[in-house]
Amino acid sequence: MENDKKEMDKNDHRVIGKELDLFTFSDLVGPGLPLWTPKGNILREELDKFVWQLRSKHDYSRVTIPHITKKELYEKSGHWDKFSEELFRITSREGKEFALKPMNCPHHTQIFARKPHSYREMPQRYAETTMVYRDEQSGELGGLTRVLSITQDDSHVFCRTNQIKDEFLKIWDIVDSFYKAFGFTLRVRLSFRDPKDSSKYLGTKEIWDMAEGELRQIATDRGADFFDGPGEAALYGPKLDFMAKNSAGREWQVATIQLDMNLPERFDLSCVNEKGEKERIVMIHSAITGSIERCAAVLIEHYEGNFPLWLSPIQVKVIPVRTQHNEVSKRHFDILKENGIRVEFDDADENLGTKVREAKTNKIPYWIVIGDKEVEANKVTLESRDAGQLGQMSAEELLSKLLSEIKNKN
Ligand SMILES: [Zn+2]
């Protein structure tokens, strides 16, 4: 840890996260358990909102599950055996064994299984942004990239075999739209079984061969930039793992889409098909951000803290030149606030230069300055962190500029 600190460069997300007051750690709470500040929480919510906006277009529904479960759920899913070292276990006062959830899929199967489903109701698409907990060794923890509490924007699609390709492509579209907004280019790893050790996985060779074949076909048909990743599969099935690269050439592992023919088998999940017969279904697991912690770390480093307007915890700062401009400035502040802009009012008894410097240090995308000239013209002077002086404009012009930039995620 000591070494780590010495070598940390100024663009490390841990350094910027502290400077911009996005998250913190407490010795009392423990390492690997980030605490999100009011500003950091805005970042989390904006990312989640964006994913949800994209998912909504494809008819996902939100669900909610408890964070613990009886041991029996994981015995049935296979996690109690295969995932046991990373499970946080809890014993109730009556001596019953529970575990903190390390993933959401087993719980979600029980929502699907609550009633029979006709083929007409398929697919069922559940989404939930929620924390999972994994017992990592403390030596491996640091910043947001390895944590014990991980927020997944998780989704499970329950579908028929003949719907796999369509559903994969829809999720792939969501992944593309999400990462394009940040200017990343994507390539895809086909994360398959370790050919030398099949004991790590659930299910038969036939099921795996079929699932892996399906994924390779989808990636080929899509004309994607893909490569093989033997040994990188999930416990229950093969995955498409997405790598995002920025213009500076840095690359991070981000989203994942996973095909699972094993959990439906274990939990006996089916639908009733056109012939009135019980038909085994499949599950598709996906997370667009990967995890919100990881995604936040990636974006903090990618932007070096200079978030685009829509993602910035504080979007605009209102700066009166002197105290006699406070009243007019406050009116501008109110208009922005009422219109949903995250705005800060700087009425500190400091000179203009200090206030502007402070806005720049906090990497706020815009600030407006209001002095004698502005009051007289009934306008504000807009300055941008990235583009410098933008001149005078009316309150309406400012608002419409900001709202359109936020909407378009510029
Ligand atoms: Zn899952």
Take residue 273 and report the two structure tokens written for it: 């098909």
295 with 306: CB under 8 angstroms? no
The rounded distance, in Å, linking the Cα atoms of 107 and 10 is 41
Long-range contacts of 271-277 (CB under 8 A, 24+ apart): 271/116, 271/117, 271/118, 271/119, 271/121, 271/122, 271/160, 272/116, 272/117, 272/118, 272/119, 273/119, 273/160, 274/119
Residues with catalytic function: 105, 134, 152, 154, 156, 239, 285
The rounded distance, in Å, linking the Cα atoms of 170 and 168 is 5
Whole-angstrom CA distances from 117 to 72, 173, 261, 272 are 24, 27, 18, 6
- DSSP for 342-376 reads -EEE---SS-HHHHHHHHHHTT-SEEEEE-HHHHH
Pick from 104, 62, 108, 51: nearest CA to 289: 51
Instruction: Strand 226-230: give its sheet, edge to edge.
Output: 61-62, 124-133, 149-159, 282-287, 251-260, 239-245, 185-192, 226-230
pLDDT at residue 248 in the model:
86
With vertex at residue 11, the alpha carbon angle to CA 364 and CA 244, rounded to the nearest 5 degrees, is 95
The confidence band for 275, taking pLDDT boundaries of 50, 70 and 90, is: very high
Q: pLDDT exceeding 90 applies to what percent of the chain?
A: 84
Whole-angstrom CA distances from 220 to 207, 255, 271 are 20, 18, 29
Per-residue model confidence as pLDDT tens digits over 63-94: 999 999 999 999 999 888 878 888 999 999 99
Mean pLDDT over 264-271 rounds to 96
Per-residue model confidence as pLDDT tens digits over 362-404: 999 999 999 999 999 999 999 999 999 999 999 999 999 999 9
353 with 360: CB under 8 angstroms? no
The rounded distance, in Å, linking the Cα atoms of 33 and 142 is 10
Per-residue model confidence as pLDDT tens digits over 171-202: 999 999 999 999 999 999 999 998 888 777 88
What's the gap in Å between 327 CA and the centre of ligand 1? 53
Q: List the beta bridge partners of residue 77.
A: none
**Region 309-407: CATH code:** 3.40.50.800
What's the gap in Å between 225 CA and the centre of ligand 1? 25
What's the gap in Å between 283 CA and the centre of ligand 1? 8
pLDDT at residue 2 in the model:
41
What's the gap in Å between 256 CA and the centre of ligand 1? 10
pLDDT at residue 28 in the model:
96
With vertex at residue 139, the alpha carbon angle to CA 134 and CA 140, rounded to the nearest 5 degrees, is 55
Within 10 Å of residue 377's Cβ, how many Cβ atoms?
12
pLDDT at residue 7 in the model:
59
Per-residue model confidence as pLDDT tens digits over 308-322: 999 999 999 999 999
**Where in the chain are all domains bearing CATH 3.30.930.10?**
2-303
pLDDT at residue 1 in the model:
41
Q: Look at residue 247 and tell me whether its pLDDT is greater than 90.
A: no
Helical H segments across 157-243, by residue range: 164-180, 205-222
Mean pLDDT over 272-296 rounds to 96
What's the gap in Å between 358 CA and the centre of ligand 1? 44
Per-residue model confidence as pLDDT tens digits over 124-149: 999 999 999 999 876 666 689 889 99
Take residue 165 and report the two structure tokens written for it: 């390709």
Longest dimension (CA), the chain: 79
Per-residue model confidence as pLDDT tens digits over 322-374: 999 999 999 999 999 999 999 999 988 889 999 999 999 999 999 999 999 99
Take residue 308 and report the two structure tokens written for it: 């685009």
**Where in the chain are all domains bearing CATH 3.40.50.800?**
309-407
Rounded-to-10 torsion of CA 164, 166, 172, 177: -150
What's the gap in Å between 109 CA and the centre of ligand 1? 9
pLDDT at residue 196 in the model:
83
Mean pLDDT of the chain: 93
What's the gap in Å between 101 CA and the centre of ligand 1? 11
What's the gap in Å between 329 CA and the centre of ligand 1? 50
Q: Is 305 left (phi over 0), alpha (psi -120 to 50) or beta?
A: left
What's the gap in Å between 191 CA and the centre of ligand 1? 15
- What is the homologous superfamily of the domain 2-303 according to CATH? Bira Bifunctional Protein; Domain 2 (3.30.930.10)
